[in-house]
Structures are given as C-alpha cells and as structure tokens.
Chains A and B, each alone.
Chain A
Amino acid sequence: MPMRILRAVLRTIRNSRRLAMGLVILGVLVLVALFSPLIAKAIGGGQDPIELAAYDKWQVPGPSHLLGTDQFGRDVFAMVVKALAVSLQIGAIAGVISTVVGVIVAFVAGYKGGWIDNVLSTFTGILLVIPTFPLLIALSAYAKNVSLFQVGVMISIFAWPFAAKTIRSQVLSLRTRPYVDLARVSKARDLEIITTELLPNLLPFIGVGFASSALGAIFGLVGLEIIGLGPGGVIDLGQIIYSAISTGALTLGAWPMFVVPVGLLTLLFAALNMVNIGLEEVYNPRLRGVAGE
C-alpha cells in the first residue's frame, strides 16, 4: 500500500511539469530551512548571529554580512533563513492539522450521510462564512508571546473547513461508485473501504487541501504582522517585513531586510500554487494539455 501510493505520486509528478516545479522549489526552501542552524553557525563563527547587538547595527550588505544587519545589530541573512524555517513550520503545522481534521470530518459526513452529515455540514458551513481575518485580529490581541505551535493551531481552526468542504463533495461522489459496492459484497468493512477504496483516489484532493491551508496559514499570519498585530514571540518572514517597514529600513539602505523576505514569500506562494494547480491538472483531465500515459 505505501509503495503503491509512492508509485502513484511519482506517476502524478511525471504527468505534470508544474507540480514537479512547485515541489522542487518547495524542496529547496525546506532544505534551506532545515539547514538554518548550520547556516547560522557558519555566519556567526561560534557566536549567535541573531543575538541582540551581535554586530554593529544597520550595516549595509557586504562580504561579512551578505544582507547587512538590522536595527539591533543582528545578521539579516541568518534571520531571514531562520524566519523562513518558522514560516514553513507554521504552514506545516496548520496544514497538517487542517487536513487531518478536514479529512476526518469530510469522511464521517460524506460516507455516513444522514443527520450526521447534516450536523457536520452545517457546522462546517458556519465556520466557512465567519469572517476569519477580523477574528484572527481579535484573537491575536490575546495571543502575546505564544509559541510557534500555538500559532499554527490558532490558524488551522479557521483553515480546516475549506479542506473539509472540498473533500466531502469528493467522498459523496466516490462512495456511490460501483467499486465501492463490489468491495461491500466482498465483505470489506466501512473503515477498510474508506482507507483502501476512497482515500487513494482522494490523495490529490488531500494534497490540494494541505497546500491551500498551509498557504492560507502562512499568509494569514503575514497579513496580521504587516498591520502590526502579529502574535509576539514568533519571528517569521512577516515579522521581519513588519520591522523593516516600521523602522524605515529601506531609507537606511537596508533594503534586503524588506526585499528578501518578500521574495521568499513570493517564491513560496508560487511553489504552493504550482502544486495546487499541478494536482488539479492531473485529477481533472479536462485541464490537461496532453493526455497522460
């Protein structure tokens, strides 16, 4: 089963150049993030390059500080790399939570049907129409000094209904397929049908659900931070952009502090969207340029 899924994933990637591109970019960003402690060490040469007053403040980009230093004398390059790791982690946490919750709710609602579906769908629907951003703003007022994980959880509360909604409609259409009936007359139980007949065919949708909620979480947080309402204690890309804006870094010649995080976020946005579109291309053959296989 896992081998089969892996093979299917590889087959999918071969079928879509966009998906492959998106995954490659994402992979590079993740690698950079994974190596962020090493990069910090290399820059600091023994000391922590993002400690307050580690260096002189507002140094312009040069050989010793590729992207210069900020208002507290921290190395911007090391900071950006660390912030990228934080942003990705928040995206991953929120993405995983939203996807898992969304998938479970979608399967229970879609497969069981009846009043269970009614209750869950209504609940999901309510969460969907609640204006998320103002609520997040309100929440962040209470969320000073929260941990990275808490931020991820907070954001995923609002992200899972999107995943649940798309996946539920797919479950509804898949559960009446004749192969589900065949499984039932072959004595397969509900859980077995869900995991072996339905889930594999939903992988692309689950992938889309994950990518969109990760995207939503990362950018939702950036949105909060740009307007100065980010939860304290977590330094992600949005936080750096905010401090670049609020300190007027651009006028001080410290443009990398603004440009580099924005560039990284753009790259991340493009990569996640390419994954989304690529997956959509594969499962919706009408969007495909050439027929695969």
Chain B
Amino acid sequence: MKSELELRGVQQRFHARGVADGYITAVDDVSFKLLASPPQIVSLVGQSGSGKSTIARNVLGLQKPTAGSVLYGGKDIFKLNRAEYDAYRRDVQPVFQDPYAIFNPFYRVDRVLWKAVKKFKLASTRAAGLQLIEESLKAVRLEPENVLGRYPHQLSGGQRQRIMLARVHMLRPSFIIADEPVSMLDAQVRKHFLDILLDFQREHGMTTLFITHDLSTVYYLGGEVMVITKGEIVERGSVATVMHEPSHPYTKLLLDSIPQPDPDKRWTTRIQVDELEHLDDNTLGDATKPEAPII
C-alpha cells in the first residue's frame, strides 16, 4: 500500500494560566510530508518544550490540532470512515519516550503484543498469534522466554523499549512515530535500538519520524532532518547538509551546543566494547530498579 502522511498548517494551542493571552502556541503552522516509499527516516530535532511531542500526538490522532490538518492518504485523520480509520491506525504506530510508563503495571508485558494481535486481527489462532509474537521478539533480539510472562517492572528499560519495537514489527506500519525513544536508554542499548529502526527501514520499508533533542542520534540515523524551535520548523534538509551548512541561526546554536570531544583529555578508565556487549538481556533485567506494583 502506498500512502503518505501529511501535516498541513498544523497549529496547536493550549490554555495556560499566567500567560499574556491565556494560551500558549505549542505548534505553529507546521507542514511536512512523510512518504511511505521510498522508506525514509526523518528526524525532528529541537530542544525541550519546542512542541515535538505535541506534533507526535497530532500525527497519532491523540490530539486534535486547533487549526490545520493531519492527512493520511490525502484525508483528514479525524474524518476517516471506519475502514480508512482501521487502515490509518494500523499504518501509523508509535514508540514513546518512557519505556516504564508505556506498560500498564497491572498486566504482564505480553498483553501489549496480544492486544495488537487481536485488535488488528494478525492471527486467527492462538498458536499462530504466539508464533508471530515470538518471531517479532526475535527480530528485535529479545529471547521470548526471557520476557514473556513477566511484569513490566521485571524488565530493563531497553527490553521494554524493544518490546514496543516488536509490537511495531508485528504490525508492519508504514510509519513509525518515535518520540524520543532512546532518551532514557544508555548508550549501548541506544545504538541497538537505532540499528533496529534502520533494519526496519531497510527490510520492511518503514518510514520513521524520529523525534529527538539529541543531534548525535540524528547524525547516526542519517536521512532527513527538520529543526523545530518554539513550535515552528525553521530548517529542513538532508542530515549532511543541515549539519554542515546550517542556514538558520537556531540550528547553528544547536550545533554549537554539542560538547566537542577534547583530544587532550582521555578517559582514565576505558570501557571495553565487548564488555558492554554482554550487558544484554539478563544483566540488564536484573538491574532494573524495583518498582511498586500498583496494586
């Protein structure tokens, strides 16, 4: 299916107290288009409060913009008929920032995967569903037996975030809306995660809107980038161009604020890469912070 996702003049205002006119404009006249083919990675970069998450919520249909529209296949996502809505829901899927809060603490983690199987009718029998779930977990380099049947607080952040990727893998959407998916992961797990996203693009033809405040991940992913500040997109282009010849002063500022490595200073204790490799599922699993079961 060839589809496209387009934001046309999206504006989002929120009522706020203590502001001059009683509201703040979180997103201001934002327009851009994401194409399903060829699959691309488009990063949206900006500092905290610039309106990135709000855009993600608009695109996901979780928040209706005050003005402008979000179009899926040329139609406003808030005016889709039943069949179109189903297609849109399946085709546009999120990965959120906080791998802790994304799971309902009341249920085992399997539930989000089974929900996907059932709601989107991915399999007709339980066995087929389970097979699908296990395949997808393996695709994101998780061992099914290590994660299935566990509660969220028994898994590491990296594991949980990869379960969300497994969910995406099962659904095979054309578009992944990833809102700071790696900001709460450590460096090694982060690279792991980004590699999976790149795999998804290559192997399954998924287009990702990658939201971040971290330019190094943008650099790693490549593709296109849009720079947002105060709700407005001020610069867009290929990562190489924007990184090397920024045209907007804000982009320059952002680039300058990356800490530059100082070759004269060296880490006193060096971390071996193969040491980190072992920090996979099990070690991280045990190191999770104990969280209170809600009930």
Contact = CB atoms under 8 A, between A and B. Distances in A.
A293 B293 CA distance: 8
Given A12-B295, A177-B101, 6 more contacts: A177-B104, A181-B60, A184-B61, A185-B60, A200-B107, A288-B292
Interface residues of A, number: 29
B102 interface: yes
A179 interface: yes
B94 interface: yes
A203 interface: yes
B250 interface: no
A285 B61 CA distance: 35
Contact of A197 (B104, B290, B293): B104
Contacts of B105: 201
Interface string B86-99: 10010011101110
A178 interface: yes
Nearest to B291: A285
A181 B293 contact: no
Nearest to B93: A185
A130 interface: no
Interface of A: 4, 8-9, 11-12, 15, 177-179, 181-188, 197, 200-201, 203-204, 282-283, 285, 288, 291-293
A181 B96 contact: yes
Nearest to B108: A4
A204 B102 contact: no
B143 to A, nearest CB: 23
B104 A184 contact: no
**Chain A residues touching B, majority SS:** helix
Nearest to A176: B101
Interface of B: 57, 60-62, 86, 89, 92-94, 96-98, 101-107, 112, 115-116, 119-120, 290, 292-295
A182 B104 CA distance: 10
A179 B102 contact: yes
Contact of A201 (B96, B97, B290, B295): B295
A185 B86 CA distance: 10
A279 to B, nearest CB: 9
B96 A182 contact: yes
A185 B62 contact: yes
A178 B101 contact: yes
The 3 closest A-B pairs by CB, nearest first: A285-B292, A200-B106, A179-B104
Contacts of B92: 185
Nearest to A284: B292
A15 B290 CA distance: 15
B106 A201 contact: yes
B180 to A, nearest CB: 12
A238 to B, nearest CB: 34
Nearest to B105: A201
B89 A185 contact: yes
A182 B112 contact: yes
Contacts of B61: 184-185
A188 B119 contact: yes
B228 to A, nearest CB: 21
B123 to A, nearest CB: 15
Given A187-B86, A200-B106, A201-B106, A292 B292 contact: yes
Given A185-B60, A197-B104, A203 B96 contact: no
A200 B295 contact: yes
A141 to B, nearest CB: 44
A201 B294 contact: yes
A293 B292 CA distance: 8
25 contacts: A8-B106, A11-B295, A178-B96, A178-B97, A178-B98, A178-B101, A178-B102, A179-B102, A179-B104, A181-B96, A182-B102, A185-B61, A186-B116, A186-B119, A187-B120, A188-B119, A197-B104, A200-B104, A200-B106, A200-B107, A200-B295, A204-B294, A282-B295, A288-B292, A293-B290
Nearest to B95: A182
A200 B106 CA distance: 7
A283 B295 contact: yes
B295 A204 contact: yes
Contacts of B62: 181, 184-185
A282 B294 CA distance: 8
A284 B93 CA distance: 33
Nearest to B85: A187
Contacts of A184: 61-62
Nearest to A15: B293
A200 B108 CA distance: 13
A49 B102 CA distance: 61
A285 to B, nearest CB: 4
A231 B89 CA distance: 58
